[in-house]
Structure 1
């Protein structure tokens, strides 16, 4: 086959989506500060009504940023599944109001995080993180290494997710999707190979010694 089995991963930690909207043009530091304040508000303010309000804010940011809806819906599937499971448990344990609050808060936070990462170039985001991490020098940690670690995390999660999905699709094409080993073993091999390649690339740049 000439291409991937499924479209490239475009989840909450996925690829940058170019654009000229006001969200794209906003400074990366401002967007990160707003995301942090949003997260604090989500945790501090209780109730299903506030949760729906937070979701509305995230949806408005999505609309203003003009990120394609098919990217958003496909990328939010893991968060939606997690929110549904948590919501079901909270409904059983604490009632519908708590279930709605917890599940909708989670989706709103993930969605706004997706908007921030989709409208901010990776190098710009890493520069901001490195500046914010400058106080770490006082405890012997390199801000650049911290920013690089965050960048690797942001890049590795979608890559591993894509590998898992492609391996599952390949097993399904062979009629082996119900056989766990046909999915887990190839996926694990690909993930280990990716980790080794990443480590070799870092070592080649002299970053493995820090």
Structure 2
């Protein structure tokens, strides 16, 4: 569900990455500490209003990033309906949507280099005791960068499957997607090796 930096400029683009990441951590803690349906509904509406404040295009893009969560939301709601605790299912679903929306808001408004700078700063104590943190910094950068890429490729595989078959793609695209991921990993490893690798 991680998104790349949005080209649409918002006020949040100018905020320090560390402040946004700290705010994300605190907001997520608050979300998980509350169980009231009214609180979570209000929180989700506030997050939606934050997206909307940057314009309709930004709001639509943020909503599209949440669409991939619908299978999890449906499963949670069905399970809690069966267990006769539908309100709890609604709370969990809204909490999930809110947390992912907040995380996407941070990645949409923060450059990857700024996030890496925050990780490098936080890892300063590790470097002082002799540990190398370049791998950690690179790993986080790769996760943020390639998660949406793999999600897009999975969507393309699903579209290709639907174009050739009346049945919906289920587990049939897992192997091709895994092959694409491995292929991308090999290209990335070769590129890193050509540039001297990671010390």
Residue in 2 that maps onto 1:53: 42
Q: 1:40-189 alignment to 2 at 5 Å?
A: 40-66=29-55, 68-93=58-83, 95-137=85-127, 141-175=131-165, 183-189=173-179
Residue in 2 that maps onto 1:198: 188
Structure 1 window deviating more from structure 2 (106-115 vs 85-94): it is: 85-94
CA RMSD across the alignment: 2.4
CA distance in 1 between counterparts of 2:80 and 2:42 reads: 20
Q: Gapped runs of 5+ residues in structure 2?
A: none
Structure 1 window deviating more from structure 2 (188-197 vs 25-34): it is: 188-197
- Alpha-carbon distance change, 140 to 168 in structure 1, aligned in 2, over 3 angstroms: farther
- 1:114 CA displacement: 0.9
Structure 1 window deviating more from structure 2 (20-29 vs 64-73): it is: 64-73
Q: TM-score, normalised by structure 1?
A: 0.82
Residue in 2 that maps onto 1:35: 24
Query: Number of residue pairs matched?
Result: 198
Contact 1:31 1:116 in 2 (8 A): yes
CA distance in 1 between counterparts of 2:85 and 2:195 reads: 54
Q: TM-score, normalised by structure 2?
A: 0.86
- 1:44 CA displacement: 1.3
